[in-house]
A and B are shown apart, each in its own frame.
Chain A
Amino acid sequence: MTFWLIIAYSLLILIGAVLLYMTFRKGDRRYIYLAVAFYVIFPVVITLDLPADISPEVLQLYEAVEALPDSSTVMLTFDYYASTLAETEPMSRAALRHLFGKDCRIVTMTTIPLGGPSISERVTREEAAACGKVYGDDFVNLGYKANYVAVLKGMGNSIESIYPTDNTGTLLSELPLMRNVQNYDDIDFIFVVADNGVVEYWMSIVNAQYGTPVGSGVTAVMAPKIYAYVGSGQMTGLLGGMKGAADYEKLIKRPDFAVKGMSAQSLVHMFIICSVIVGNFIYFRERKYGRTGSGGKSA
């Protein structure tokens, strides 16, 4: 097994080096695309278990959920568009598995019109079916309502005033779970999964004004900004991009899509780092000794 792994890694390095050489030799950026495609496809086809430590912010969120008493009521949001599914859906699935595993009662919702309603319905139903949970008793999907600021503020007074019915049109008063959930006072934790600025309003409106603890899973693009809120204690933990989702999958001991994708992620990052180093080396060398010439498109 070790022999084949050595062969695989040697092949990876060799192909990367050749494509990088071709990029700078021919001056064609499409070799870079080819290399990135190769490094993404290779670990999807051949499993490489590259090591990765669990981030403290992910551990903080996991421990916050773990510390919730069994049968707590948790609100899980699907505030993301279909375009970021690769990063956000694994977070939602991992959160649902963890929460259902603790017998928590889950209220799901979305503030995103394009994709949010159908994604929340599909993902929640699939995970609930896998865990043997019953709609109305164990989980409820409120669906989508426009104007997230009004929705977030309004649910502080009454969830029913904002969502008279659930996603399928059933009155909330007919759903056993919702009879005891009137507003944020009846919700123990809010798990926001988002790919946009809505996550900040969950923190600045709901957490700051109603005191409900908020933890979040966000796309990698947003993560650096949200780290500041974790540092100030406003946000209880954070899943940052696919790495955060992979860490959470490991913590709940259900490795899935994100864990599988992290090997590809690591390989592409290593290739990009090598490209930056080689590119800078060539740039400074050409500046010192003069351009040796390489026609074609600029890389």
Chain B
Amino acid sequence: MSFVEIFQIWLIAFFTLALFSFLYKDNAFYKLAEHVFAGLSAGYYVGLTWNSVIIQQMYDPMIINGKWYLFIPGLLGLMMFSRFFKGFHWISRFSLAFVMGNTAGIFLISELHGKVLPQVQGTMVSINPSQGFGPTLLSLIIIVGVVSTLIYFYFSKEHKGLLGGVARTGIWFIMISFGAHFGYTVMARVSLLIGRVQFLIDDWLGSFSQIFS
């Protein structure tokens, strides 16, 4: 392991421990790590965007390959900055109008064709008992869950009587969904901790033997 690799491991370990130190109480090491992370992320993002968008997608194709029509999206991008100048902010609306129209056109198809219709189709399940008790029960749960949850979000009529009973069933389905989300979120956060602990034990503590050998 080279000196640079060991230095990298120790730097990562320092910032990991500095962030974990917040669990005991707020301190200067935590604040340092937080500010370094925010600054580095912003700098890296600006550099990457400059290279991958301005240079690769506009400057190079326009200057080297002669695609001069790319000055139109470039101009639309520049017009967005007019929002910073009082009296000229209306110019940015042309760019926003383009973005909104473009986005609506793309997502109208993809949301409807890729999400809404297949998901509606996915809830139209068979409740024929001949498929067995288990699958029939699951199909019934899907139907009851979808209908009752949709009714819970129907606010044009007061939730009383039959409507109220179905809406309350919907709440139970929503609560179970929240519980599943919470369980998975716990798993996700614990996974991140496991990742850091494995790094500290395997790589950081492992580097001690490299240093002292």
Contacts and interface: CB of A to CB of B under 8 A. Distances in A.
Task: Indicate whether A and B interact.
Answer: yes
Interface of A: 30, 33, 36-37, 40-41, 44-45, 83-87, 113-114, 117, 144-146, 149, 153, 200-201, 203-205, 207-209, 219-221, 223-224, 228-229, 231-234, 240-243, 257, 260-261, 264-265, 268-269, 272
A32 to B, nearest CB: 10
A44 B201 contact: yes
Interface string B112-138: 011100110110000000000000000
Nearest to A113: B48
B26 interface: no
B114 A209 contact: yes
A83 B201 CA distance: 19
Contacts of B194: 40, 44, 86, 242, 261, 264-265
Task: Classify the interface of chain B: helix, strand, loop or mixed.
Answer: helix
Interface residues of B, number: 41
30 contacts: A36-B193, A37-B197, A40-B197, A44-B198, A84-B192, A86-B195, A113-B48, A117-B48, A144-B52, A145-B56, A146-B49, A204-B111, A204-B115, A208-B110, A208-B113, A208-B114, A209-B110, A220-B187, A221-B185, A224-B180, A224-B184, A228-B122, A231-B122, A241-B191, A260-B198, A261-B194, A264-B197, A265-B190, A265-B191, A272-B186
B27 interface: no
Given A145-B52, A200-B115, A204-B113, A114 B188 contact: no
Interface string B96-122: 000000010010011101110011011
A242 B184 CA distance: 10
